[in-house]
Amino acid sequence: MKKLFILLLVLSMACAVLPAAAEPDVTGVWYLTSLLDTSPSEANVYLKLTVSQKGTFELIGQTADIVTILEGTWTQNENSLVLTVPGEEPAVFVVAGDTLQGFENDSLVMALGRQNPVKDIGEYGATINYNGNAYYRITGEKTAACSGPVDNPSEAAVPDTIVYKGFTLKVTEIEENAFSKTGALKTVTIGKNVKTIGKNAFASCPALKTVKGGAGITAIRAGAFASCKKLSSFPSLAKLQEIGANAFKACASLKSFTIGPKVTAIGKNAFSGCKALAKITVKSKKLTARAVGDKAFSGISAKAKITCPDGKAKTYAKWLLKRGVPKTAVIK
């Protein structure tokens, strides 16, 4: 699919250059407005070109349900914009007012403008292959959810946003079972707009060691990281409110965890079987015995040290012990 968009961009070097008194400003965002005299919707092809002031560009192209991203550098010679992708022939556009024109054999084959010609992203629920890395489902006018990897990656990055038909959508969710049993996965980086980690989203990923990012996460659903036996590094999440049942069950290598200030519920068996878990920092002042499920901390390290908010150690100790914290643990 990359070749398709390279083909669309690699245009004749023999473009006529329009005379101009000064070089027009080509920086900013451009959208495909016509391709071989048809609209993007009719051709089922969409392009979004971002030309930065730093001399680089990003082209996000879509045909059907596949999105491809190309990056490179640009130069300008009066009314000619030249885009260069490493290893490919440069693509030349003629700048004509608020339009970029691409020619082949002296015939206009494509045009880009400043306004996205697509007014509505269309039917929600569509799933796209985003740059060969992961699948995303369109969930709303401005939102999308990550559905899982395209293959079996060792690293995965869920971005802050994706682009669909030229529209920028926030990635707000990692769906149920999205990365479950992805055997090679070692590291996950989660974008700042993700609010929910779905049920069993990363369950039984045998090689998963590190989770990064996720500053916007508010809910980790049931079993989200269950049986990730090598998981040893997990970020402190200031906005987290809910830790579901079995969320980290049997994460045998997890040594420390911070329960953030907004957490109000911890499901049963949430940390059950985390035998290396020896340091727990509780920042939430909102937890009660009813809000924490049975055996939530059963099987954690016998040498665990649990730090509670000021003035809460005595109260919290009562229900922590009832929820599986060993009697040998230090609670302060």
Rounded average pLDDT over 303-312: 97
The pLDDT of residue 5 = 52
The pLDDT of residue 12 = 34
The pLDDT tens digits for 217-256 are 999 999 999 999 999 999 999 999 999 999 999 999 999 9
Can you spell out the DSSP letters for 55-114?
A: SEEEEEEEETTEEEEEEEEEEEETTEEEEE-TTS--EEEEEETTEEEEEETTEEEEEEES
Percent of the chain with pLDDT over 70: 93
Residues 17 and 157 in one domain: no
Percent of the chain with pLDDT over 90: 87
d(CA 234, CA 40): 43
Domain stops at, among 113, 140, 163: 113
Asked if residue 10 has pLDDT above 60, the reply is no
* Residue numbers of the domain that contains 80: 2-113
pLDDT band at 123 (very low <50, low <70, confident <90, very high): confident
Specify the CATH number for the domain of residue 171.
3.80.10.10
d(CA 221, CA 145): 15
Task: Quote the number of domains for the chain.
Answer: 2
CB 196 within 8 A of CB 221: yes
Asked if residue 3 has pLDDT above 60, the reply is no
Residue 227 CB partners (closer than 8 Å, separation 6+): 203, 204, 249, 250, 251
For residue 58, being part of any structural domain is answered with yes
CA distances from 33 to 2, 13, 29, 321 (A): 20, 21, 13, 64
The pLDDT of residue 16 = 38
d(CA 83, CA 144): 30
CB 129 within 8 A of CB 135: yes
Q: Which helix (H) or strand (E) holds 220?
A: strand 219-220
Residues 132 and 213 in one domain: yes
Lowest mean pLDDT among 6-15, 83-92, 159-168: 6-15
The pLDDT of residue 178 = 98
For residue 120, being part of any structural domain is answered with no
pTM across the whole model: 0.89
Residues 150 and 8 in one domain: no
Domain stops at, among 113, 141, 157: 113
Residues 168 and 271 in one domain: yes
Going edge to edge, which strands form the sheet with 187-190? Answer: 155-158, 187-190, 210-213
